[in-house]
């Protein structure tokens, strides 16, 4: 959602259910046609170790406030420096019934983006979880 010319509220909700006799090593595959590793790492529940949470049912909520206050040109290239506070909340569980509402996992933090010509994004995030902290460097936004 565009809140201001240089301020965006970004969010996502992801739910996935795996049925049948799923091999253990496939429980971490998340995301259908463009799968990533299970929850944790740099996309889902940032700050936890990669593939930290895996099971048949997966649910995650993520929000970011993307603020782009600094815009400049260098060598005829457009560059934007962006600041991004974020919060992720999610869980995994083995079966739909009985419904369980415990064991939620949360991470929060802030990041910076260097955006080159509105297309190429270099992302750094500093994430805090109950299990510790993590510094992430990657290309592209997390979602």
Say what the pLDDT of residue 37 is.
74
Distance CA 132, CA 28 (A): 22
pLDDT band at 30 (very low <50, low <70, confident <90, very high): confident
- Cα 53 to Cα 135: distance, rounded to the nearest angstrom: 19
Residue 123: which of 52, 62, 66 has the closest Cα?
Answer: 66
pLDDT tens digits for 51-95?
899 889 999 999 999 999 999 999 999 999 999 999 999 999 998
Which of 63, 55, 125 minimizes the C-alpha distance to 93?
A: 55
How far apart, in whole angstroms, are the C-alpha atoms of residue 116 and residue 134? 25
Average pLDDT over residues 4-28: 89
Say what the pLDDT of residue 132 is. 94
Give pLDDT, residue 88: 96
Q: Please give the pLDDT value at position 20.
A: 87
pTM across the whole model: 0.86
Q: For the chain, what is the mean pLDDT?
A: 90
* pLDDT of 3: 95
Cβ-count burial 96-123 (b if 16+ within 10 Å, e if not): eeeeeeeeebbbbbebebebeeeeebeb
Q: Is the pLDDT of residue 140 over 90?
A: no
More confident residue, 36 or 89: 89
Please report which confidence band the pLDDT of residue 27 belongs to, taking 50, 70 and 90 as the band edges: confident
């Amino acid at each position: 959602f565009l809140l201001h010319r240089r301020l965006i509220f970004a969010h996502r909700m992801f739910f996935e259910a795996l049925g049948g006799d799923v091999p253990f090593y496939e429980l971490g595959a998340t995301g259908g046609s463009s799968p990533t590793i299970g929850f944790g790492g740099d996309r889902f529940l940032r700050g936890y170790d990669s593939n930290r949470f895996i099971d048949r049912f997966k649910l995650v909520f993520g929000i970011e406030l993307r603020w782009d206050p600094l815009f400049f040109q260098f060598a005829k290239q457009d560059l934007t420096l962006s600041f991004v506070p974020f919060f992720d909340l999610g869980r995994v569980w083995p079966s739909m019934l009985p419904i369980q509402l415990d064991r939620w996992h949360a991470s929060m933090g802030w990041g910076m983006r260097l955006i080159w010509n509105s297309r190429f994004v270099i992302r750094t995030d500093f994430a805090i979880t109950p299990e510790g902290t993590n510094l992430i460097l990657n290309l592209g936004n997390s979602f």
